[in-house]
Amino acid sequence: MGTALITGAAAGLGQEFAWQLATSRHDLVLVDRDSERLERLAGQLRAAAGVDVELLVADLSVRSDVERVAERLRSIERPVGLLVNNAGGAAGQRFVDGDVGREEAVLDVMVRCVLVLSHAAAGQMTARGRGAILNVASVAALITLGTYSAHKAWVRTFTEGLAVELRGTGVTATVVCPGFVHTDFHDRAGIDMTWLPEVAWLRAEDVVATALADVRRGAVISTPSLRYRLGSGAARAMPRSVVRAIGAPRPIAGVRRHRH
Catalytic center residues: 148
CB of 2 within 8 A of CB of 17? no
- φ and ψ of 180, to 5 deg: -75, 130
88 vs 80: CA distance, rounded Å: 21
- φ and ψ of 205, to 5 deg: -65, -35
Bridge pairing between strands 28-32 and 53-57: parallel
DSSP string covering 208-246: HHHHHHHHHTT-SEE--SHHHHHHHHHHHHS-HHHHHHH
CA 119 and chain centroid, separation: 16
Other beta carbons within 10 Å of 8: 26
Phi/psi region, residue 230 (left: phi>0; alpha: psi -120 to 50; beta: rest), is alpha
Tell me the torsion sign for CA atoms 75, 79, 80, 81: positive
Find the distance separating the first CA and the last CA of the chain, reported in whole Å.
45
59 vs 85: CA distance, rounded Å: 14
Residue 207, CA distances (Å) to 26, 136, 181 in order: 19, 11, 8
